[in-house]
Amino acid sequence: MLQQIYPQVPHHFQYELNKDMQIAAAHFIPHEAAGKCTNIHGHTYFVNITVAGDELDDSGFLVNFQHLKKLVHDKFDHTLMNDHKDVFNDKNSNDFPTTEVVARKIWQIVQNYLDKLPNKPKCLQVFVRETPTSYVVYRPKAGNK
Ligand SMILES: [Zn+2]
């Protein structure tokens, strides 16, 4: 599953890096429309993060793969997504841990980190597969935060 081909995002950067991650995590969607997903349950998420840029840093990296893993995998793996109050909010539907929101939040976490790097890479796409038959792709609009 991790070696699958992901949707490509068109761009004109010289370098493109992709980081795959597998994250075991639980969540629930606190809204009646979610049906049985209102109950806590688990998924093995497959995440692919696409980062691009024209400049490498002093060590020859666009961004260090390990740092991406630390930021995302190490934060969420074996946790209940809803417990991350710095990321998700059970009161605001725009912040429920749906697949769509998980993808957007991962993008925000990654881009906030990339903004601090001197070579200014961009996160162009976050792919989140929640089940074997369901996935979401998040791509920021130009200039979006
Ligand atoms: Zn679920």
* Cβ–Cβ < 8 Å for 130, 37: no
Structure-token pair, residue 135: 């996935």
Question: Ligand 1 centre and the CA of 38: distance in Å?
Answer: 9
Question: Ligand 1 centre and the CA of 107: distance in Å?
Answer: 19
Residue 143 pLDDT: 63
* Cβ–Cβ < 8 Å for 17, 52: yes
CA distances from 144 to 7, 76, 87, 123, 140 (A): 20, 24, 18, 11, 6
Residue 92 pLDDT: 93
Question: 3-class DSSP state for residue 112?
Answer: helix
- The single residue of 27, 43, 73, 130 carrying the catalytic annotation is 130
- The single residue of 16, 37, 67, 100 carrying the catalytic annotation is 37
For residue 130, indicate whether it is catalytic.
Answer: yes
Residue 15 pLDDT: 98
pLDDT band at residue 145 under the 50/70/90 scheme: low
Residue 33 pLDDT: 94
Question: Ligand 1 centre and the CA of 87: distance in Å?
Answer: 17
* Cβ–Cβ < 8 Å for 110, 72: yes
Say how far residue 136 (Cα) sits from the centre of its chain.
10
For the chain, how are helix, strand and coil distributed in percent, rounded to 5? 30, 30, 40
Half-sphere exposure of 59 (CA within 13 A, CB side): 6
The span from the CA of 34 to the CA of 99, in Å, is 12
Structure-token pair, residue 132: 């074997």
Residues paired with 47 in a beta bridge: 21, 128
- The single residue of 11, 31, 41, 78 carrying the catalytic annotation is 78
Residue 6 pLDDT: 86
| Mean pLDDT of the chain, nearest integer | 95
pLDDT tens digits for range 45-103: 999 999 999 999 999 999 999 999 999 999 999 999 999 999 999 999 999 999 999 99
pLDDT band at residue 24 under the 50/70/90 scheme: very high
Residues paired with 43 in a beta bridge: 25
Question: What pTM did the predictor assign?
Answer: 0.94
pLDDT band at residue 142 under the 50/70/90 scheme: confident
